[in-house]
Amino acid sequence: MSTRARVPSAAVLPDRFVRWFAGRGWSPRVHQLELMAHAQAGRDALLIAPTGAGKTLAGFLPTLVELAERGPSNSDNAGTHTLYVSPLKALAVDVARNLERPIAEMGLPIRVEGRTGDTPAARRKRQKERPPDILLTTPEQIALLIGDPSAGRLFETVKRVVVDELHALGPTKRGDQLALALARIRALAPGVVTVGLSATVSDPDALRRWLVDPRRGRPLAELVQIAGGAAPDISIHQTDERLPWAGHGGRHALGAIYEEIKRHKTTLLFANTRAQAELTFQELWRINEDTLPIALHHGSLDVGQRRKVEAAMGEGRLKAVVATSTLDLGIDWGDVDLVVHMGSPKGASRLLQRTGRANHRLDEPSKAIMVPANRFEVIECEAARAAALAGEQDAEAAKPGSLDVLAQHVLGVACGGPFDADALFAEVTSAAPYADVDRATFDDVVAFVATGGYALRSYERFAKIRKTKDGLWRVSNPQVAQSWRMNVGTIIEATTLKVRLAKARRSKAGTVAPGGFGGRVLGEIEEYFVETLTPGDTFMFAGEILKFDALVDTDVYASRSTSDAPKVPTYVGGRMPLTTDVAARVRGIIDDRSSWPTLPEQTREWLGLQQRRSLIPEPEQLLVETFPRAGKNFLVAYTFEGRLANQTLGMLLTRRLERAHAAPLGFVASDYCLAVWALRDMSAMIAGDLLSLDALFDQDMLGDDLEAWLEESALMKRTFRNCAIIAGLIERNVIGAKRKTGRQVTMSTDLIYDVLRRHEPDHVLLRAARADAARGLIDLERIVEMLARVKGHMVHKPLSRVSPLAVPVLLEVGREPVYGASQDALLKLAADDLVAEAMAED
């Protein structure tokens, strides 16, 4: 199916292609021919297709045809015709395999080669001397080639750039890097045509814009869309067993799921977290009486192990695979006929993309089962299913291009050859993510690249790039280019950190005795999780309750904790926040009494109880409950804004409650709400006008409070460090030196951050770091919208005991990170303790 009226005929295909299709019992699909027609007319195009629609072949067909028409590759000087860029190295391998077949079967004179970080230097050198017709590569390799002095010669022959998995690449720093590279390639190869391949997205126009240079006259790439074929068959697992109040395991359903696995050919089970994947896998094997071949696939596993599973999957040797999001991207594998979502998929796009893994034939419905792990997730699964069936997609916030990436690019361009600032500015702003960069900001970035861009202009004589008499910017010396090459890339650190167990011997004074470090490795956890931890916080990992002691290099040191339940957060790796759309639908279902009868009995009963005991908030309302429990006083706010936003909100509310003398002790955030607990009775404070909810949730918390918290936070320092490394302020790899350890880099960037913040708070790198923090790590936008929306719509319910709706989040206390007081207060507390410690010494 096509979105456009004119349908090109197969006449655009040369005979041998027509014969090849016929020989395989295929006929060219409409979208393949459409893409062909756009390519031949020199129009950039975006292909949006569900999995299994033959996206890759469609993307390459115009290239194969052109190269076949060109005749036998007459010389090695023809240069590369098509660049294929994918976010995953594995995808390049997969695509090479898929291309081999038509090329071999039609006897086409086409040479295909891959180029990744793993490609041996000798082959990379040869590729420059004798470029393949089709080069399969990654954004980082493209960036490196752009900074190569032979960039002009390498790129001038390129006719087509195919960007795969554009939906995944678009809103990331790697996407920024690639967008800038595309703009550069267009300057070097003015005739180049882009083809983007993407899964279904909510806003195709953002990707269409991404693919074009608007200066060429077309603001958007042509859109070729394949409708999803048959509507997916998504069901929600029903259980007679008691649905848990909280938790994400879904263990109660595995017996029934095991029966489904037996009934189907190959089942793919998606879990949202590694822990959940591990748990599901173990549980399935416990009940695996038929010893079915069931495998596990997630990011913490060794790469070789993962490749083995993928291969076995491709060959149809597995009955089921339990996987995390590592399998979300488009790697092709066998004949999956059932997808099981353990827990809520959290978003409509994810649900559809995962469900699309089942059944690669478009005309048959993909079959999926969602397994809600708790009563709240029942509603969430209903909401996600409704959104998916309505064809809704998660809205990805279009991300403005990061300035640190721009800095790396500007230096790369200079390494490739002299540049004119005016021309480069025009080129950079032709890339969608950088369209709104103003000239002053661009000049700041160029100045940063040259000398650091400081108001105190004392580094002129050390400038890395200089404007020469002809008005062009050039690198000052070859070492600059060499060191740039060693530091290209926007992926800064291992996404996971090793967790080491340190023995905690406690001395009488309460300090941990030395000698406990360098312990055995328990496993690996995501760095972003560690970022949210302060030393002393406890978390659950590898079946143990651990206390976070320190982050040294890339190792997390933790000791066994004797901490009691309320102070024990859990580690929930790889958890994604609920999308805005599904959150809105959840709110809608809760509010719409007429939809309740479709919910399972247990969930219905629970909502009914909430209605009697407290209140069912209307969609526009912010319900705030206060109640005492177990000697503490709770305040629960139902924002439905997702975990990240609620965590940030929790940090800010805690600060404010501290100032209001409510003596907050900590808080916990879920996708739906956040719960703060305090020593003082907040119901009484509100009743006595000592605490105003309107003031508490006033938008002004996003001003000074946010800034004060953020500027001092470890999160900000780490964000700054990443920006400093990407922008080239700090070099990861130093010429002639051994790789620096993370620790050394961390140390110096903290000192640099402090000095820079004091002297030039508006420095371009600090701007870059703040933008990153606001966007990715604290979900500021959702808080801004929510605070504006709830103004005047706050409903306070003082209760004598915990409300039914609050139960799930309160059960998370004990599993989720517990945040304490602000950094300031923490330092003060520590200092007081230090005094006590000092007094106790003699």
Partner 1 sequence: MIPSRPSKSASEPTITVAGAALVADPLGALYEPGSGALIVADLHLEKGSYFARRGQMLPPYDTATTLGRLARLVAAYQPRVVIALGDSFHDDGGPARMHEADRAAVAELQRGRDWIWIAGNHDPAPPANLGGEARLTLVLGALTLRHEPTAGAAPGELAGHLHPVAKVAVRGRGLRRRCFATDGARVVLPAFGAYAGGLNVRDQAFAGLFSGDAFTAWMLGDAGVYAFAARGLRPD
Binding site for partner 1 (CB under 8 A): 448, 451-454, 456, 458-459, 462, 464, 479-480, 483, 507, 509-514, 517, 534-536, 547, 549-550, 552, 728-731, 743-744, 747-748, 751-752, 755-756, 758-760, 763, 826-827, 829-831, 833-835, 837-839, 841-842
> Measured in whole angstroms, how far is the alpha carbon of residue 53 from the centre of its chain?
25
If 0-12 CB within 10 Å is exposed, 13-18 middle and 19+ buried, where does residue 719 land? buried
Which of residues 119 and 534 has its CB atom nearest to partner 1 in the complex? 534
> Would you say 507 or 594 has its CB closer to partner 1?
507
By the 8 A CB rule, do 658 and 667 touch? Answer: no
* C-alpha span between 53 and 686 (Å, rounded): 58
Q: Considering the complex, state which of residue 485 and residue 604 has its C-beta at the smaller distance from partner 1.
A: 485
Nearer to partner 1, 74 or 458 (CB): 458
Q: In the structure encoding, which two tokens stand for residue 376, read together?
A: 């709240």
Of 270 and 448, CB closest to partner 1: 448
Q: Cβ(380)–Cβ(585) under 8 Å?
A: no
Which of 360, 464 has the CB closer to partner 1? 464
Nearer to partner 1, 423 or 831 (CB): 831
C-alpha 577/C-alpha 574 separation (Å) is 10
Identify which of residues 450 and 810 has a Cβ nearer to partner 1 in the complex.
Answer: 450
How far apart are the C-alpha atoms of 19 and 640, rounded to whole Å?
A: 56
Structural contact between residues 525 and 499, judged by C-beta atoms closer than 8 angstroms: yes
The amino acid that residue 96 corresponds to is A
| Shortest distance (Å) from residue 150 CB to partner 1 | 23
Q: Is 119 exposed, middle or buried (0-12, 13-18, 19+ CB in 10 A)?
A: middle
- Rounded to whole angstroms, the Cα distance separating 206 from 169 reads 12
Minimal distance, residue 818 CB to partner 1, in Å = 12
Q: What is the DSSP string of 534-566?
A: -TT-EEEETTEEEEEEEEETTEEEEEE----GG
CB-nearer residue toward partner 1: 230 or 825? 825
Q: Which structure tokens are listed for 671?
A: 């996708």
Nearest distance, CB of residue 331 and partner 1, angstroms: 39
Both tokens of 304, joined, read: 């070789």
The least CB distance from residue 831 to partner 1, in Å, is: 6
Nearer of residues 605 and 760 to partner 1, judged by Cβ: 760
Smallest distance from the beta carbon of 550 to partner 1, in angstroms? 5
Considering the complex, state which of residue 612 and residue 758 has its C-beta at the smaller distance from partner 1: 758
CB of 517 to partner 1, least distance (A): 5
DSSP 419: B
Q: Which of 656, 684, 624 is nearest to 821 (CA)?
A: 656
Provide the minimum distance between the beta carbon of 410 and partner 1 in the complex, in angstroms, as a whole number. 14
CB of 494 vs partner 1, minimal distance in Å: 19
Cβ at position 833, least distance to partner 1 in Å: 4
Q: Would you say 311 or 747 has its CB closer to partner 1?
A: 747
Q: Is the Cβ of residue 81 or residue 567 nearer to partner 1 in the bound state?
A: 567
| DSSP character at residue 512 | B
CA distance linking residue 123 with residue 127, whole number of Å: 6
From CA 571, how far away is CA 275, in angstroms rounded? 8
Q: By C-beta, is 233 or 731 nearer to partner 1?
A: 731
What does the alpha-carbon distance between residue 145 and residue 147 come to, in Å, rounded to a whole number? 5
Tell the smallest beta-carbon distance from residue 569 to partner 1 (Å).
13
Interatomic CA distance for residues 707 and 724, integer angstroms: 20
| Residue 74 or 507 with smaller CB distance to partner 1 | 507
Question: In the 3-class helix/strand/coil scheme, how is 326-370 assigned residue by residue?
Answer: HHCCCCCCCCCCEEEEECCCCCHHHHHHHHCCCCCCCCCCCEEEE
As beta bridge partners, residue 296 has 322
Edge to edge, the sheet with strand 673-678 lists: 664-669, 673-678, 632-638, 622-629, 794-798
User: In angstroms, rounded to a whole number, what is the distance separating the alpha carbons of residues 164 and 86?
Assistant: 5
Sheet arrangement for strand 538-541: 521-526, 496-502, 555-560, 544-552, 538-541
Least separation in angstroms between CB 761 and partner 1: 12
Question: Per this entry, what is the length of the chain?
Answer: 842
Contact 335, 360 (CB under 8 A): yes
* Residue among 743 and 793 whose Cβ is closer to partner 1: 743
Q: How far is the CB of 481 from partner 1 (least distance, A)?
A: 11
Do residues 77 and 316 lie in contact, with contact meaning Cβ atoms separated by under 8 Å?
Answer: no
| Choice between 19 and 457, CB closer to partner 1 | 457
Residue (692 or 744) nearer to partner 1, CB: 744
Instruction: Find out whether 195 and 161 touch, Cβ atoms under 8 Å.
Output: yes
The minimum distance between CB 552 and partner 1, in angstroms, equals: 5
**DSSP readout, 769-821?**
HHHHIIIIIS-HHHHHHHHHHHTT-EEEEE-SS--GGGHHHHHHBTTBPPB-S
Using CB atoms within 10 A of its CB, is residue 736 exposed (0-12), middle (13-18) or buried (19+)? Answer: exposed
In whole angstroms, the minimum distance from the beta carbon of 530 to partner 1 comes to 13
3-class secondary-structure state, position 698: coil
- Tell me the closest approach of the beta carbon of residue 724 to partner 1, in angstroms: 9
> Measured from the CB of residue 69, what is the shortest distance to partner 1 in angstroms?
48
Closest CB 527 distance from partner 1, rounded Å: 17
| In the complex, minimum distance from the CB of residue 819 to partner 1, in angstroms, rounded to a whole number | 13
**182 forms bridges with which residues in the sheet?**
none
Is residue 161 within 8 A of residue 182, CB to CB? The reply is: yes
